[in-house]
Structure 1
Amino acid sequence: MGRLGVDDAVTTEVREDEAPAARRLPQVPGFAGRTGPGARRAEPSPKAAGKALRRQVPRSSHAGFEVSADRPDAVRAVAEGNRGRLAELIPLRVGRMAANPFAFLRGSAALMAHDLVHTPLTGIGAQICGDSHAGNFGLYGDARGGLVIDLNDFDETVHGPWEWDVKRLAASLVLAGRVAGADEDTCRKAAHDAAGAYRRTMRLLAKLSVLDAWNAIADEALVSHTDAQDLVGTLERVAEKARHNTSGRFAAKSTVVAADGGRRFVDARPVLRGIPDAEAEAVAASLAGYLETLSPDRLPLLGRYAVHDVAFRVVGTGSVGTRSYVVLLLDHRGEPLVLQVKEARPSALLPYLPAVGFEVGAVEHEGRRVVFGQKRMQVVSDMLLGWTTVDGRPYQVRQFRNRKGSVDPAALAVDQLDDYARMTGSLLARAHAHSADPRWIAGYCGKGDVLDEAVASFAVTYADRTEADHEELVRAVKEGRVAAETGV
């Protein structure tokens, strides 16, 4: 007997006068009110509500950007961003930001948040990355050994305006394109295409059932969905490199055999250095608290590893100067697993949210904020993602070198920039749709490219402003007013 399919299912037709009365069940906290064909339509649909917002906030208005009177200059903004960071690493951070305008943008999320306060907003909130520049997308490994592509940095994540992520992505693409040598039309088109891919993907998700939308656009379909065929070769090369970017490879390069037969990290300054015993012991001891943040089914896995060493390791541009450690774990065969214990500072966007009507509640733990924000936005997250506290400071914990790979948007061939823009725009929409109803945002964005054009105009204007900020920082470095360590 053949398998019963959907088309073969037995159905029973019921006349309208024989239909049973609707069952009225109590509303359950955490669930929506009754929806579907039998629901009463007391309010407009989310799509209609989103469309109605266009009257209050025209989509074309997103093109606007003007420098506010209270905007800090670039040097002061960088100095404010350095507060609380390790003093000896601040010149390294400044040097990385001074490398080019795209690098400056990467390190100035707070300055852009200050600027975005004065731009139009719909009031629709989502879990946003907060630092969704074009370099914050990439590949990483899942629990089964496969590779996933998604947003991959969430230090600034908060509940906030979806537009802020879209505009930061668009502006970063213009800057990356300029650094790569692309002409102005190509750079603007990349910003336009990123916004367009975001809009079209959100419209697609809005048409699907909730469960289908949640799991939509598998990575293997991403290239065709975003018409990014020119990027295939680059993605394949990045994927091949990512497969070898593992704890084992890092440990082989960064550790030596110790006297007891274990392994110890070796200095590779300024990026990797040993730390005093007391500091290493504090980090190692904090892993007990980290284990309490994991799902219990992960504990037998980590229970088969022993902690062998801890070192300090400098992180990326936006986080340089924060405290970050790598912890070497070895199993019974001496095979390594490396964890990163990274300081979690308050989101750089936090001071600017109340000004645009987004409430800022008490944060229980900054590491927890980062972890929960990441899990709300990614389709698949690191299975060892957690948080802890070291000497009173909050940290996030994750696998280090978990087959990570990334595309440098500032090094892309000119004909690949718009493909990359469409791919990242689509990924951003998918991430936002996990916390915001895609029907609402899709209703606002609409079918035409009015929003795409506006975002592209904003991106070009803001890229010009960022280039001026970068020039100001470079001038301060040359004049000796700001210390910088370059080339690292």
Structure 2
Amino acid sequence: MEHVADLKDRRARGRALRQVVPRRAHDAIGNVRRDPVPLLETSSAGRVERLVPLRYGRMIQSPFAFFRGSAIVQAHDLAGTPTSGMTIQICGDCHLANFGGFATPERALLFDLNDFDETSPGPWEWDLKRLTASMVVAARHLRHDKTAADNMVFELVNSYRDRMALYAEMGVLETWYDRITFDRLLAEAASPDVQKQIRRAMERAAARTHETLLPKLSARAGHRWRILDAPPALFHVTGRQTLFSEDDDWLKAGIAADVIARCFGDYASTLAADRQELLSHFTVQDIAFKVVGVGSVGTRCLIQLLVDSHDKPLFLQFKEATKSVVARYFKSPAVTHEGRRVVEGQRLMQAASDLFLGWTKGPFGRHFYARQLRDMKFSADIELMDTALLTGYGRVCGRALARAHAKAGGLAPEISGYLGASDRMAEAMIGYANSYADQVDRDYEAFVAACRAGRIEARTDADMAADFQV
């Protein structure tokens, strides 16, 4: 355990960094003299070509949807903003919709960050800035007024500040053991309405299991289970309803069963020995392509259905991992496997991670990470939140981000020293979040104009599904 003097020195080092980069300097929005469309096209490179219009179709629904799908744009812009100089493992795509609930291996329900596709070493401020900007973009989308939106950012940032101050006083093991359980949130909730929302979330999570998913996504075909095609969201890569083009390497060269088995074996070898033993009790039934999210649409994402000797299912998701948007704009150590980057970043930042979290190389060398599909996972429905609920949700997100940063970075005293006890950082973030939300509005307008002009193509799920209707 550190001596009190050591902690004081560490806080003082963080406080001294304010002389180099004052907290008020964080209201700058960075490198925004650019066209967002080429950046989006850069991040679309290498995706399944026929799914890129679906990505844009999901992004065009609202400025908030656009924001969710354009992490590369904000990472580009953040590269031109000042930082305190403290580099830690960050989420890289830290917005309101990338927090949620999931079950630990012990079946406790936690609230935490739940998307780490862009995780990488980077400035801790980048996560806080993306989160606060998402709050204002969401608040505007939901027609909350500016005063309410500013207060949401204020509460979020001060929740992060206050929680970081607590972690600065904790031992390392205490920090690593700390978890935000739903039981804890329920006990802390003062409002009956908030308690009702938390209970409802717990009920929804409990219903999201592999067994409830089985009849929705699959059906028996003889002695095996087969995943049902429902394009564009779900289809077999080599099936009649595939969205892969003929010149895609996965179709052109074909993927033999032994190649898939080898990839699966490589994945299993990244799990702990007891989890390898657990996985050995399941038999593979089928594998299909599943479109997920907004920003991930078009990256290769497969779901694999397995069953045990009792015919009980396990759905695994294998998701392609490409270069982090953070690493594109912030100098980071070289990465040899992008899937491993995601897994190790997730393990560092989350309070507890998926039982089957691992990585592998797919056919033709693409990098993947794997986890369970859906198992008691859910995201909050931000669209239904009134001012009070969204404000409270922001406070919990700020708290969860502080826990993730404190655990992953080990710099809680330094970050807390930099933040201090005043509202200076919150005030700077209010300025940043509003200015950046204005920029998101401009970028969204440019994006919509590009779609309307035919510069890029956007198609909805319903429009693409109609292509397969007889």
In the superposition, the TM-score normalised over structure 2's length comes to: 0.90
Once residues 437 and 375 of structure 2 are traced to their aligned partners in structure 1, the CA distance between those partners, rounded to angstroms, is: 33
From 10, 16, 39, the counterpart of 1:46:
10
Once residues 32 and 94 of structure 2 are traced to their aligned partners in structure 1, the CA distance between those partners, rounded to angstroms, is: 23
Once residues 229 and 165 of structure 1 are traced to their aligned partners in structure 2, the CA distance between those partners, rounded to angstroms, is: 31
After TM superposition, give the deviation of residue 214 of structure 1 in Å.
2.6
CA offsets, 1:402-452, max 9 Å, x none? 111110323312221110110000000000001222000000000011101
From 65, 71, 75, the counterpart of 1:109:
71
1:36 alignment counterpart = 3
Matched, 1:298 2:260: no
From 19, 36, 45, the counterpart of 1:55:
19
Q: Which amino acid aligns with 1:365?
A: H
1:460 alignment counterpart = 434
1:81–1:228 distance in 2 versus 1, CA, 3 Å: farther
1:412 alignment counterpart = 385
1:31 alignment counterpart = none
1:180 alignment counterpart = 142
- Any conservation in 1 of the 2:382–2:390 contact (CA below 8 Å)? yes
- Any conservation in 1 of the 2:358–2:369 contact (CA below 8 Å)? yes
After TM superposition, give the deviation of residue 487 of structure 1 in Å.
4.8
Unaligned regions of 5+ residues in structure 1, if any? 1-33, 355-359
Matched, 1:469 2:469: no
Mapping 1:156-305, distance limit 5 Å: 156-216=118-178, 218-219=180-181, 220-222=183-185, 231-259=194-222, 261-276=223-238, 278-279=254-255, 281=257, 282-305=259-282
Once residues 8 and 157 of structure 2 are traced to their aligned partners in structure 1, the CA distance between those partners, rounded to angstroms, is: 26
CA offsets, 1:3-25, max 9 Å, x none? xxxxxxxxxxxxxxxxxxxxxxx
1:145–1:113 distance in 2 versus 1, CA, 3 Å: same
From 398, 413, 437, the counterpart of 1:425:
398
Once residues 41 and 227 of structure 2 are traced to their aligned partners in structure 1, the CA distance between those partners, rounded to angstroms, is: 32
- Any conservation in 2 of the 1:89–1:321 contact (CA below 8 Å)? yes
Once residues 83 and 234 of structure 1 are traced to their aligned partners in structure 2, the CA distance between those partners, rounded to angstroms, is: 40
CA offsets, 1:371-401, max 9 Å, x none? 0000000011001100011111110011111
Mapping 1:301-380, distance limit 5 Å: 301-354=278-331, 360-380=332-352
Matched, 1:485 2:464: no
* Higher fraction of helix: 2
Unaligned regions of 5+ residues in structure 2, if any? 240-253, 463-470
Percent of aligned positions that are identical: 41
1:135 alignment counterpart = 97
1:225–1:132 distance in 2 versus 1, CA, 3 Å: farther
Aligned to 2:122, what secondary structure does the other structure show? strand
After TM superposition, give the deviation of residue 238 of structure 1 in Å.
2.1
Once residues 104 and 337 of structure 2 are traced to their aligned partners in structure 1, the CA distance between those partners, rounded to angstroms, is: 26
Matched, 1:444 2:418: yes
1:190–1:279 distance in 2 versus 1, CA, 3 Å: farther
1:121–1:226 distance in 2 versus 1, CA, 3 Å: farther
1:228–1:139 distance in 2 versus 1, CA, 3 Å: farther
State which drifts further: 445-454 or 203-212.
203-212
Q: Which amino acid aligns with 2:12?
A: A
Once residues 200 and 237 of structure 2 are traced to their aligned partners in structure 1, the CA distance between those partners, rounded to angstroms, is: 36
Aligned to 2:407, what secondary structure does the other structure show? coil
Q: Which amino acid aligns with 1:157?
A: T
Aligned to 1:401, what secondary structure does the other structure show? coil
The CA RMSD over aligned residues, in Å, is 2.0
Once residues 280 and 324 of structure 1 are traced to their aligned partners in structure 2, the CA distance between those partners, rounded to angstroms, is: 18
After TM superposition, give the deviation of residue 353 of structure 1 in Å.
0.6
CA offsets, 1:66-103, max 9 Å, x none? 5544x2x1222221221111110000000111111111
Q: Which amino acid aligns with 1:51?
A: R
Q: Which amino acid aligns with 1:257?
A: R
Aligned to 2:264, what secondary structure does the other structure show? helix
- Any conservation in 2 of the 1:388–1:394 contact (CA below 8 Å)? yes
Once residues 238 and 29 of structure 2 are traced to their aligned partners in structure 1, the CA distance between those partners, rounded to angstroms, is: 49
Aligned to 1:434, what secondary structure does the other structure show? helix
Once residues 487 and 347 of structure 1 are traced to their aligned partners in structure 2, the CA distance between those partners, rounded to angstroms, is: 26
Mapping 1:373-412, distance limit 5 Å: 373-391=345-363, 392-412=365-385
Q: Which amino acid aligns with 2:288?
A: A
Would you say how many aligned residue pairs link Structure 1 and Structure 2? 444
Q: Which amino acid aligns with 1:403?
A: M
1:5 alignment counterpart = none
In the superposition, the TM-score normalised over structure 1's length comes to: 0.87
After TM superposition, give the deviation of residue 192 of structure 1 in Å.
1.7
1:238–1:222 distance in 2 versus 1, CA, 3 Å: closer
Aligned to 1:397, what secondary structure does the other structure show? strand
After TM superposition, give the deviation of residue 223 of structure 1 in Å.
6.0
Q: Which amino acid aligns with 1:59?
A: R
